[in-house]
Structure 1
Amino acid sequence: MAGALAGLRVLDLTNTLMGPYATQLLADMGADVIKVEPPGGDPVRGLGPFRNPGMGAIFLQVNRGKRSLVLDLKQEAGRDALLRLATTADLLVYNMRPKVMERLGLGYADLSAVRPDIVYAGLFGFGQDGPHAGRPAYDDLIQGASALPSLAVQAGATAPRYVPLALVDRVVGLYGVGAITAALWHRERTGEGQRLDIPMFETMASFVLADHMGGRLFDPPIAPPGYARLLSKDRRPYATRDGYVCALIYNDGQWQRFFAAVGRPEVWRDDPPFRTISERTRHIDAIYGLVAEILAGFSTEESVALLERADIPVSRLATLASLIDDPHLAAKGFFVAIDHPSEGRLTMPGIPGRFSATPPAIGRPAPRLGADSRAVLEEAGLSAPEIAAMAEAGVTLSAP
């Protein structure tokens, strides 16, 4: 069965992680994604570990399902070739700063002139009508700008630190896919293309403040910003005698069952701070501290069994290694083994969702640099002599 986006052609002018992750999701759902790379390739090609240069582990994941076309867009022949390709494309995605696209002669006006109904989506650092418009941005920078490291300090960390994954790139990439599919649905109904600006900073500000606006939501403010439960220093995996468990005791029934299960029913019965969610939130540090003290007297196995019997959400603390070997993921067939023509057998994290009629799937393996240059240029109508001349001038190259 074809994916939900089968027949959609995407020109992918993105590199690193945020943009390629968004277009990888589109490819998983069936889109024909043409990854347009400069002659030096996407920098993430060099990020190991790898078996062969230019085919690093992260690149192999976020560029699966795509075709690689090398074009030097700084040369007129490269720009012209891209505009010829755009006449057959539904969507162009880029993550350069918009002024760079304008300087290349590849702004929205240029693309819509050759394909009026194109959806033109930019994922970049800051909205273009604010004072930070021209600033470059990476995941770490936007984590800092959106207060994530300082939230860690509010929650008890000894110093600010970044979340140890490319959280901003993933969140903004996901948001970008939602915005793109909405624009494509609008085009389906009206025939109208449009330009999308998807800024990292504003997206993450919305993401963070959705939880932490707090009393600043009201005008005038009635309390400081911040959600107390999320900022509690004891909102962390609970230490047991021999490890850690992750548990969330949240509603009235769960709290009552927890104290009954640990032989302390009088705490729920006689201690007012436990009786309502409002009171628990006001006293969250003391409450989480008490839970931590109680669970420290149990082993991990005992804690999990006790909380499961009380119907309280609980899990053991995973590591990266145990996550990869998780029995639930194994039973679901989450990981997909593919054979790459140059990199050998690969084990890919799979696609989490399920579609009953148009299931997504991992398509072709991530491409070698320029693996599809000739085929894609021929599809755009370029002749063999034209392609040869472009190769001779360094505008394109094909993988051996």
Structure 2
Amino acid sequence: MKHPLSGYRVIDTTAMVSGPLATMQLADQGAEVLKIERPGVGDYTRLASNRRHGFSASYLNNNRNKRSVALDLKQADGLAALERLCENADVFVQNFRPGVAERMGIGEQAIRAVAPHIIYVSISGFGDAGPYAGYPVYDPLVQALSSLASIQGGADTARPRLVRTIVPDKLTGYVAAQAITAALLARERGAPGQHVRVSMLDAVIDFLWHSDMNSQTFVGDEFDQARAASFIDLIYETTTGHISVAVQSDKEWQALIRALDTPEWNQDPRFATPADRQDNIDARLALTQQKLATASAEHWLERLAEYGVPCAPVLTRSDLLEHEQIAANAIIVENEHPQAGRLRQARPAARFSAMPDTDYAGAPALGADTAAVLAEHGYDTQAIERLVEQGAAAVAAPHEDTQ
């Protein structure tokens, strides 16, 4: 039985996180992804910290199920080899700054000359136009420009704060993967091969608008959010650790009152209606914290669940590995990598009822598949050896550690 994207070939010239994550989604769903890397260097995440046997965790976690082809695109023969790989490819993905791909000879026009119907994908930081288009981009800069940092701070007047995970990078990867499959579907239905453009800035602003931009929605009636709804997180201390409790409906509010044995809250005018409870959120959350601080996390989680109050423990990264909910859904999987050893990773989030589980192939060593892929595209042994000798291509020795 085939995977959803079996039979599609993707040429991946991306590096770091946004592009590699996008193409890994496609690879996990069955696409053949050829990761094009510079000989001797490769994806910069190969050099990240937390390494074993030459492989970094960052590289492994964003390049599963791909094949690595090491080509020097600054050499004419290396560029020609890439063009040959593109001839029977369905998708080409790059995440260089606007204009760089064109200068390298791998812009849309050049690739479409050898593959007229290809889906050409450009992932950028700040978009193709405007004064920031050519700027170097890192995740914190997008958090700043998109207003995500301000939102994370709470009120417009509060000190902005970064989200402590690279939301723009990862979100952009997921948006790009979905857009690629949409473009492939459109092509199956008769549309031409398209140029799909996704910027990190676009992805984050779109993401935020669905819940955090209500104050800017009504044209002519915008307002500054000078006051945060609350500076108190929905994380509560107990005598043995932290838990999260969140209630929205009247039914859940009444369930919380019963679980905490605080009937007097029903007589407090500050909490009479949902609007009152929102207007007096700090007082409500402070009282909840005061009550939860009197007993253990285990006690409260059991009692809150008994009364139907939405709640969960706050897990550390280590706790997550052993939690029964994660185990019951088999979210974390372990597999053997031929060089890096046994790995623990999250399985693909989307599961397909009529498709087999993904066969996990660990992220490849730099150039591990160069010879095989070139041979599949018409290069004989002598031609491959010549490319390697002149430095236009590179191959990895069996079980070679990346540097």
Note if contact 1:123-1:197 (Cα within 8 Å) is conserved in structure 2: yes
Post-superposition shift, 1:105?
A: 1.2
**What residue is the counterpart of 2:400 in the other structure?**
none
Aligned with 1:264 (options 262, 272, 295): 262
**What residue is the counterpart of 1:289 in the other structure?**
286
Q: What is the 5 A alignment of 1:244-259?
A: 244-259=242-257
Post-superposition shift, 1:52?
A: 1.6
Structure-1 separation of matches of 2:245 and 2:155: 17
**What residue is the counterpart of 1:43 in the other structure?**
44
Q: TM-score, normalised by structure 1?
A: 0.93
CA RMSD of the aligned region, Å? 2.1
SS at match of 1:218: coil
Post-superposition shift, 1:330?
A: 2.2
**What residue is the counterpart of 1:178 in the other structure?**
178
* 1:199 to 1:78, Cα distance in 2 relative to 1, 3 A: same
Post-superposition shift, 1:384?
A: 2.5
**What residue is the counterpart of 1:345 in the other structure?**
342
Aligned residue-pair number? 396
SS at match of 2:319: helix
Q: TM-score, normalised by structure 2?
A: 0.92
> How far does the alpha carbon of each residue in 1:61-86 deviate from its partner, in whole angstroms, 9 at most, with x for none?
21110000001111111111111111
* 1:227 to 1:9, Cα distance in 2 relative to 1, 3 A: farther
* 1:373 to 1:290, Cα distance in 2 relative to 1, 3 A: same
Structure-1 separation of matches of 2:58 and 2:339: 16
* 1:227 to 1:106, Cα distance in 2 relative to 1, 3 A: farther
* 1:226 to 1:376, Cα distance in 2 relative to 1, 3 A: farther
* 1:156 to 1:284, Cα distance in 2 relative to 1, 3 A: farther
Post-superposition shift, 1:26?
A: 0.6
Note if contact 1:10-1:34 (Cα within 8 Å) is conserved in structure 2: yes
Post-superposition shift, 1:225?
A: 4.3
**What residue is the counterpart of 2:153 in the other structure?**
153
SS at match of 1:135: coil
**What percentage of aligned pairs have identical amino acids?**
38
* 1:157 to 1:243, Cα distance in 2 relative to 1, 3 A: farther
* 1:11 to 1:222, Cα distance in 2 relative to 1, 3 A: closer
Post-superposition shift, 1:227?
A: 9.7
* 1:171 to 1:375, Cα distance in 2 relative to 1, 3 A: same
**What residue is the counterpart of 1:302 in the other structure?**
299
Aligned-partner residue type, residue 276 of structure 2: E
> How far does the alpha carbon of each residue in 1:239-268 deviate from its partner, in whole angstroms, 9 at most, with x for none?
112321111111111111211222222322
* 1:347 to 1:215, Cα distance in 2 relative to 1, 3 A: closer
Note if contact 2:156-2:224 (Cα within 8 Å) is conserved in structure 1: no
Aligned-partner residue type, residue 247 of structure 1: V
**What residue is the counterpart of 1:335 in the other structure?**
332
Q: What is the 5 A alignment of 1:15-54?
A: 15-39=15-39, 40-53=41-54
Structure-2 separation of matches of 1:215 and 1:316: 32
Structure-2 separation of matches of 1:227 and 1:113: 55
Structure-1 separation of matches of 2:85 and 2:128: 27
Aligned-partner residue type, residue 166 of structure 1: I
Aligned with 2:233 (options 235, 249, 260): 235
**What residue is the counterpart of 2:401 in the other structure?**
none
Note if contact 1:234-1:292 (Cα within 8 Å) is conserved in structure 2: no
Aligned-partner residue type, residue 170 of structure 2: R
Structure-1 separation of matches of 2:336 and 2:45: 21
**What residue is the counterpart of 1:125 in the other structure?**
125
Structure 1's consecutive aligned runs of 4 or more residues displaced over 6 angstroms after TM superposition are 155-158
**What residue is the counterpart of 1:95 in the other structure?**
95
Structure-2 separation of matches of 1:27 and 1:377: 19
Aligned-partner residue type, residue 122 of structure 1: S
- Give unmatched runs, 5+ long, in structure 1: none
* 1:107 to 1:227, Cα distance in 2 relative to 1, 3 A: farther
**What residue is the counterpart of 1:320 in the other structure?**
317
* 1:156 to 1:183, Cα distance in 2 relative to 1, 3 A: closer
Structure-2 separation of matches of 1:239 and 1:325: 22
Structure-2 separation of matches of 1:74 and 1:213: 45
Note if 1:356 corresponds to 2:353. Answer: yes
Note if contact 2:157-2:226 (Cα within 8 Å) is conserved in structure 1: no
Note if contact 2:155-2:228 (Cα within 8 Å) is conserved in structure 1: no
- Give unmatched runs, 5+ long, in structure 2: 398-403
Structure-1 separation of matches of 2:220 and 2:256: 39
Structure-2 separation of matches of 1:51 and 1:157: 45
